[in-house]
Chain A
Amino acid sequence: GEDVEQSLFLSVREGDSSVINCTYTDSSSTYLYWYKQEPGAGLQLLTYIFSNMDMKQDQRLTVLLNKKDKHLSLRIADTQTGDSAIYFCAEITDGQNFVFGPGTRLSVLP
């Protein structure tokens, strides 16, 4: 079945880069996503990548996709305290069914 895994916690210092990793199992994934969730707020779409791409960059965010290893990563350059949140990796397969990972809680230390 479909499964998405992430490490649960990450701490970085302000100004450093953060790298959040995700692995998925469904090789038929068409799109892969990163969402951000701040306390008490809904999910905010950060970026997504189509499965035939291996990299996508958007300002401070870089997404890398290794389809062979089914590994997705999100790099946040120059991490700020406002980046503290839970980051969810998600995949969509041949249907319309999103499968989310458990989320990585990013803590940014001053």
Chain B
Amino acid sequence: GAGVSQTPSNKVTEKGKYVELRCDPISGHTALYWYRQSLGQGPEFLIYFQGTGAADDSGLPNDRFFAVRPEGSVSTLKIQRTERGDSAVYLCASSPRGAETQYFGPGTRLLVL
């Protein structure tokens, strides 16, 4: 079956612009996670959804970052007033239950100029 998909695969934007990154989880997976991976580092947790609600958003670095999952399936990560330090690969993962079986998408590589 289809895995987790993320669009776009690459995004180049200018400092100060707004971007949206999309994640399509595996069908039927109730849990969805966003991570940020900077060059040479491991993924860093951002936010976790169980269904439509954000169960844990403690990893969001500041209020420029926001994520939604209105129908409990597709999720969008939104970044306002982008900064050069936001450049990273943004990874999405989904899970049928809890975090012990997370399946990752290929990521969106964001570059802020």
Q: Size of chain A's interface in residues, with CB distance under 8 A?
A: 22
Cβ of B113 under 8 Å from chain A = no
Task: Report, as a range, how many residues of chain B touch the other chain.
Answer: 20 to 34
Q: Is the CB of A42 within 8 A of B42?
A: no
Docked-complex contact A48 and B106, CB < 8 angstroms: no
Would A45 and B102 count as touching, CB distance under 8 A? yes
Complex Cα distance A100/B35, Å?
A: 10
CB distance from A15 to the nearest CB of B (A): 29
How far is it, in angstroms, between the C-alpha of A88 and the C-alpha of B7 when the chains are bound? 24
Contacting pair B42 A101 (CB below 8 A): yes
* Identity of the chain A residue whose Cβ is nearest the Cβ of B31 in the assembled complex: A96
Q: A42-B104, A42-B106 are known contacts. Are A98 and B43 too (CB-CB below 8 A)?
A: yes
Task: Say yes or no: A100-B44 contact (C-beta < 8 A), given A42-B91, A42-B106, A44-B104.
Answer: yes
In the complex, B61 has a CB within 8 A of chain A:
no
The interface residues of chain A lying within 8 Å CB-to-CB of B99 are 31, 92, 96-98
